[in-house]
Amino acid sequence: MSSTSPVYTTAEIRALESLALSGPNPPALMEKAGLAAAEIARDQLLTGNKQRVLILAGPGNNGGDAFVVARHLHRWGKQVTLVFTGEVERLSPDARQAWEQWRATGEITHPTLPAGEQWEAVIDGLFGIGLSDARPLAESYQQLIQQVNQLDLPVLALDIPSGLLSDSGCALTAVIKATLTVTFIALKPGLLTLDGGDYCGEIIVRDLGLNTTALQAPQHWLLNRASINARLPAPRLANSHKGTYGQLGIVGGASGMVGAALLAGRAALKLGAGRVYLGLLAREQAPAVDLVQPELMLRPPTDFFATDLLNALVIGPGLGQEIAACLCLEQALQSHLPLVLDADALNLIAVHSELSERLKARSTATILTPHPAEAARLLATTTADVQHNRLSAAQTLTQQFSCTIVLKGAGSICALPNGTCYFNTSGNPGLSSAGTGDVLSGFLGALLAQGLSAENALLVAVYLHGAAADALLEQQHGPIGMTASDIIPAARSLLNRWVGEKNSKG
């Protein structure tokens, strides 16, 4: 998928279809979609001597796509078993035509899975993007989906695996587990966030010949390696010094949580900040020096606000919620420094309205890094509501606070104040361990201190953070036992390589 891959919601996809079909020569979208999917099935699933395919056609237009797939595969000599779960009389005109063309082949259509047959691949055309929270799966469909998953065969899903919600990535009571998903016209949010990664397999986009960005300007985009290249820090000059690359302050590390601030500080140093100062709130537990990273400078947090010492500030890793934490956060919000707010800084803002108002009044760049529970507190809702509406939650947060946001989780969503959102493609379950959020905050602070805009710092840091975990996944043959400390050197190596590659290409 390219650096310019747009992402559209269900309503936006419907609008694109309407615009395309209202022209003087409307395209045959269902025919194009079915042919594209049939070619993928033939070339990637039904290879060699594999001939027998089970195709599931649902009651709507996704079923119409499946009829077209079945017709083409039959024409190419494949042995097709078609299960149609809908009613012919209720099909749309296009789907009805596709049904009639399939029936003209003379092949049998089944209402349920026929017993005693064996297949080598499955094509899922039950629902596509037609499901919503208001349209739960009937028990018969739940049973059918469970039967298909138990076949343990490679599955090609049409548009999106049936049972997965297109706008949220929320899995319903049963979801087709696909090997491949061919999505039509453009990417959808549900493929990229929450449960999408567990069900979609490899995602292939077929635009069906539509110039989507010309028809409707997208608000949402894919965040991948190519899309951050122009946003990377500039190569370093020979005539430079530590002051050239910014001075970052990190406030946090209350009693029992000093490690969070140390992780953020170490991450910031390894990502290129010229100087990193740690303001630890712990008293008895605060070390005089970090023996692992002695380059970190430990100072009282109050020093950060008394002078023009810093170029950027991170507050929150291990901050706690005591009075001293509130006072430091209040001073940070009143400062004119580019600011990263993480962890307990977000929780304090959710609890104290005066801090929330100070955040809203800021005119300097501010980045918020909530996980779903923190986002729920900020929005005065539940974690479940945030997870079921991740895109909406991220957009609401950035509008409410006029800040740049990353809503962390599977398929992190980066939301900008101008309404644009990016869906991150990097990362894996290895990031599900303590301290990885602190490392991300350190990355963000380092890039802000080096002069990157809030937008560029956010997109580079979020993608790099996940890409470092992906590199470790490959090296360690799996995500188990990956730690936040592991992420830091892996990210440093990648960033140096990427900046070098960008420089070598001019």
- Domains along the chain with CATH numbers: 6-218 (3.40.50.10260), 227-504 (3.40.1190.20)
Of 185, 149, 188, residue with least CA distance to 168: 188
Instruction: Identify the CA nearest to 408 among candidates 378, 431, 442.
Output: 431
- The whole-chain average pLDDT of the chain stands at 95
Task: State the CB neighbour count (10 A cutoff) for residue 334.
Answer: 12
Looking at this protein, which amino acid is placed at residue 389?
A: N
d(CA 15, CA 38): 25
pTM metric for this prediction: 0.95
Nearest partner of 329 among 281, 283, 288, judged by Cα:
281
Bridge partner list, 9: none
Q: Please state, for a pLDDT cut of 90, what percent of the chain lies above it.
A: 90
Which pLDDT value is given to residue 322? 95
- Is residue 306 scored above 80 in pLDDT? no
Residue with the larger pLDDT of the pair 24 and 55: 55
Fill in the amino acid letter for 491: A
DSSP letter string, 154-180: -EEEESS-TTB-TTT--B-SS----SE
Q: Which two tokens stand for residue 37?
A: 């999917």
Question: In the predicted model, is pLDDT for residue 269 greater than 50?
Answer: yes
Contacts of 451 (CB under 8 A, 6+ apart): 246, 311
> Which tokens in the block code for residue 483?
């730690």
Chain-centre distance for alpha carbon 481: 23
Reduced to 3 states, what is the DSSP secondary structure of residue 252?
A: strand
What's the CA gap between 407 and 391, in Å, rounded?
9
Average pLDDT over residues 461-485: 96
Q: How many CB atoms lie within 10 A of CB 245?
A: 20
What average pLDDT does the segment 397-412 reach? 97
Distance CA 201, CA 191 (A): 9
Place 302 in a pLDDT band, splitting at 50, 70 and 90: confident
Mean pLDDT of 334-341: 96
Range name among 23-27, 327-331, 455-459 with the lowest pLDDT average? 23-27
Question: Residues with Cβ < 8 Å from 237, sequence gap 6 or more?
Answer: 244
59-117 pLDDT per residue, tens: 999 999 999 999 999 999 999 999 999 999 999 999 999 999 999 999 999 999 999 89
**pLDDT higher than threshold 80 for residue 284:** no
CA 163 – CA 128 distance, rounded (Å)? 8
| pLDDT tier, 1 (very low <50, low <70, confident <90, very high otherwise) | very low
CA dihedral 136, 141, 145, 151 (to 10 degrees): 170
For the chain, give the number of residues: 506
Residues near 46 by beta carbon (within 8 Å), at least 6 away in sequence:
53, 73, 78, 120, 121
User: So what's the pLDDT on residue 2?
Assistant: 46
Average pLDDT over residues 314-340: 96
Residue 215, C-beta contacts closer than 8 angstroms, at least 6 positions apart: 16, 19, 20
Confidence of residue 469 (pLDDT cuts 50, 70, 90): very high
Rounded CA separation 486/469 (Å): 8
Supply the pLDDT for residue 375.
98
Q: Is the CB of residue 391 less than 8 Å from the CB of residue 413?
A: yes
